[in-house]
Amino acid sequence: MIVQVDNPVVEVHDLTVSYDRKPVLWDIDLTLPAGALVGVIGPNGAGKSTLIKAMMDLLPTSSGYVRIFNEPIKQVHKRISYVPQRESVDWDFPASVFDVVLMGRYGNLGLFRGPRKADKDAAMEALEKVNMQSFANRQISQLSGGQQQRVFLARALAQNADVYFMDEPFAGVDIATETAIIELLRQMRAQGKTVIVVHHDLQSAADYFDWVVLLNMRLVASGPTEKVLTQELLEQTYGGKLTVLSKVGDLLRKQEFPARETKV
Amino acid sequence: MNAFWIILTGSLVATCCSLLGCYLILRRMAMVGDAISHAVLPGIVIAFLVTGSRDSMPMLIGAGLLGVITTFLIEFFHRYARVQADASIGVTFTWLFAIGIILISVFAGQVDLDQDCVLYGEIAYVPLDLWITEGNLNYGPRTVWTLGFVTLLIILFITIGYKELFLTTFDPAFAAAIGFSTSLWYYLLMTAVSLTTVASFESVGAILVVAFLVAPPATAYLLTDNFKVMLILSVMLGILASAAGYFLAVWMDGSIAGAIATVAGIEFTLVFLFSPTKGQLLRRRQVAPARQPEEALA
């Protein structure tokens, strides 16, 4: 069940990504339409984050290629923005909320140029969109999880890109922030932006996204939400022996049982 | 006059090291600075053997190359041989430093360098090595000119690449996604660390370089939440340590470099205890959490 589109925003062709010669993504072949809210969904370890990082050329790939707006990524960096996982940075860094949001403008500045008034206005406007304008001068270590996520979102908004990649923006945020974020994503879609979101909650997926990519190391499905979120395809993604095995693996890791008997 | 030249030399080294150290500690790479400061030794010796002189330029180039090679080897062992980062730092720099020591001892007759000088330096001799032109004009100590030049380069580098260094230090993944080359800025930063090390090694030695790379930035980090303020504060703390360390050494009649590093350590301890925001004793509890989450949700 892989639906291909004409004039795709993102085109992934035969993509394989390996860590340590062990493939974590096999032979992904998909196209994503413009102006869509795309959810990338799959179990833990399915390679969801790996897929969006590979799409942005942040990871070396074993084979295949990615085109964005029908161009290699190096040509279109300015039209791409990224919201990494919150935990990926050090929130004790000596920076204010405004400093971080302003980083969204850096891609548009030359080497010798610092941010100008227009850039600062754009950053402030982005902060207003996520309702954080009163936090502009706050030190980032004083933010709650939801506020950190809003700051990251504001940074991406300040960039005014055309394609947004977001890695688990709903993970560990309060319900008010989640509602505010999804409302913003819908506004972005209305402006013709394409937003690709790594998501782990099946419950809300049908409501949030209009295009869904189901992933479990291989591509299970990619298409309009109503065609893809079916019992059968979800079972293919989460079900079967693979899930049982990974659940056992998770359990072992959580309880720190030795994976095999060790002689003492 | 001698006191002035010695304190000026210490302050120039402190300025370069503290500025670069701010980036190193925020990247959790302080020990990479340590590694580079030792591993440039073979570069210095080879540059000396090739050119036969103790001119600054060949040595800066030789050491700069070795610094980049060190960084590259650390990355390489860590990423491809899957050795832990700290182990890979330890293996790389001890090995390169040892090669430097062997080169010095084998070519001892030809090399006007010795191990003690590289490790501890001798800042007290700075005013003796003067730059005197043929017209008998005295421009002051040679080291001050070299260090002044390197300090200018470092300040220029940090001013020009301010936003790139800030961004790639805080969030390298985002930086790469919007088109900045994280490895280019990483290697530029490491080259700057190598240049600083070699320019300072004969006056203050590798150990004081490490002290300046880590202690003033770590102290400044405890004093402020603003990165620009952190850069300025760490330079001021470094200069203060140089001056106070010099007078401490004169008073005790002891090693100047040792006294400077000691003062840097005392500064850190005082700030650790008494910093208004992050100090252990005088911390203003609950900086501003009184009105936090609600207003964001309005």
Q: Looking at residue B38, which CATH number applies to its domain?
A: 1.10.3470.10
> A71 touching B, CB under 8 A?
no
- d(CA A166, CA A39) in angstroms, rounded, equals 10
Provide, as residue numbers in chain B, all residues whose Cβ is less than 8 Å from the Cβ of A79. none
Per-residue H/E/C for B79-105 = HCCCCCHHHHHHHHHHHHHHHHHHHHH
Cβ atoms of residues B99 and B107 within 8 Å: no
Q: Domain residues of chain A, as ranges?
A: 10-255
The burial of A234, by beta-carbon neighbours within 10 Å (0-12 exposed, 13-18 middle, 19 or more buried), is given as: middle
- d(CA B260, CA B222) in angstroms, rounded, equals 20
User: What integer best gives the mean pLDDT of chain B?
Assistant: 85
Cβ atoms of residues A171 and A139 within 8 Å: no
Partner residue facing B163 (CB), from A74, A93, A114: A114
Kindly report, residue by residue over B64-118, the tens digit of the pLDDT: 888 889 988 988 888 888 888 889 999 999 999 899 888 888 876 666 666 666 6
Partner residue facing A84 (CB), from B161, B174, B296: B174
Provide the pLDDT for residue B148.
92
Contact B179 A77 (CB under 8 A): yes
pLDDT at position B298 over 80: no
Kindly report, residue by residue over B15-63, the tens digit of the pLDDT: 999 999 999 999 988 888 889 888 888 888 888 888 877 666 787 788 8
Cβ atoms of residues B297 and A176 within 8 Å: yes
Residue B232: its H or E element: helix B227-252
CB atoms within 10 A of CB A41: 27
Cβ atoms of residues A83 and A193 within 8 Å: no
Nearest-Cα distance to chain B for A161, in Å, is: 10
Contact A94 B224 (CB under 8 A): yes
pLDDT at position A264 over 50: no
- d(CA B35, CA B77) in angstroms, rounded, equals 14
The burial of A206, by beta-carbon neighbours within 10 Å (0-12 exposed, 13-18 middle, 19 or more buried), is given as: middle
Q: Provide mean pLDDT across the span A95-104.
A: 94
Kindly report, residue by residue over B202-216, the tens digit of the pLDDT: 677 778 888 999 999
pLDDT at position B288 over 90: no
The alpha carbon dihedral of A40, A43, A47, A49 has a sign of positive
List beta partners, residue A199: A41
In the numeric block, which tokens belong to residue B26?
């925020």
Cβ atoms of residues B18 and B234 within 8 Å: yes
The proportion of chain B whose per-residue pLDDT surpasses 90, expressed as a percent, equals 42
Number of domain units in chain B = 1
- d(CA B184, CA B214) in angstroms, rounded, equals 23
Residue B34: its H or E element: helix B30-39
Residue of B nearest to A146 (CA): B293
Nearest-Cα distance to chain A for B160, in Å, is: 6
Provide, as residue numbers in chain B, all residues whose Cβ is less than 8 Å from the Cβ of A112. 160
The proportion of chain B whose per-residue pLDDT surpasses 70, expressed as a percent, equals 88
The proportion of chain A whose per-residue pLDDT surpasses 90, expressed as a percent, equals 55
Query: Residue A168's closest CA among A149, A151, A154, A185?
Result: A149
Contact A94 B225 (CB under 8 A): yes
CB atoms within 10 A of CB A253: 10
Provide the pLDDT for residue A230.
83
In the numeric block, which tokens belong to residue A214?
């189901």
Report how many helices (DSSP H) and strands (DSSP E) chain A contains, helices first.
9, 9
Kindly report, residue by residue over A170-215, the tens digit of the pLDDT: 988 888 889 999 999 999 999 999 999 999 888 788 889 999 999 9
Contact A131 B297 (CB under 8 A): yes
**Does B202 fall in a domain?**
yes
Contact B177 A82 (CB under 8 A): yes
Kindly report, residue by residue over B109-146, the tens digit of the pLDDT: 666 666 666 666 777 777 777 777 777 777 778 888 88
| Domain region containing B167 | 2-123+139-283
Give B246's pLDDT tier (boundaries 50, 70, 90): very high
CATH number of A10-255: 3.40.50.300
Nearest-Cα distance to chain A for B272, in Å, is: 16
Kindly report, residue by residue over A41-70, the tens digit of the pLDDT: 988 888 899 999 999 989 888 899 999 999
Q: Which of A88, A106, A174 is the mutation pick for testing B, counting most B CBs within 10 A?
A: A106
Q: Which of A139, A168, A175, A184 is the mutation pick for testing B, counting most B CBs within 10 A?
A: A139
Distances from the Cα of B276 to the Cαs of B89, B217, B234, B273, B284, in angstroms?
35, 17, 17, 9, 6
Q: Provide mean pLDDT across the span A11-30.
A: 88
Contact B227 A94 (CB under 8 A): yes
Contact A99 B297 (CB under 8 A): no
Provide, as residue numbers in chain A, all residues whose Cβ is less than 8 Å from the Cβ of B227. 93-95, 99
- d(CA A170, CA A161) in angstroms, rounded, equals 20
Contact B178 A95 (CB under 8 A): no
User: What integer best gives the mean pLDDT of chain A?
Assistant: 86
Give B290's pLDDT tier (boundaries 50, 70, 90): very low
Residue B132 main-chain phi, psi, to 5 deg: -115, 125
Give B163's pLDDT tier (boundaries 50, 70, 90): very high
Nearest-Cα distance to chain B for A21, in Å, is: 11
Kindly report, residue by residue over A136-171, the tens digit of the pLDDT: 999 999 998 899 999 999 999 999 999 999 999 998
Q: Provide mean pLDDT across the span B261-270.
A: 94
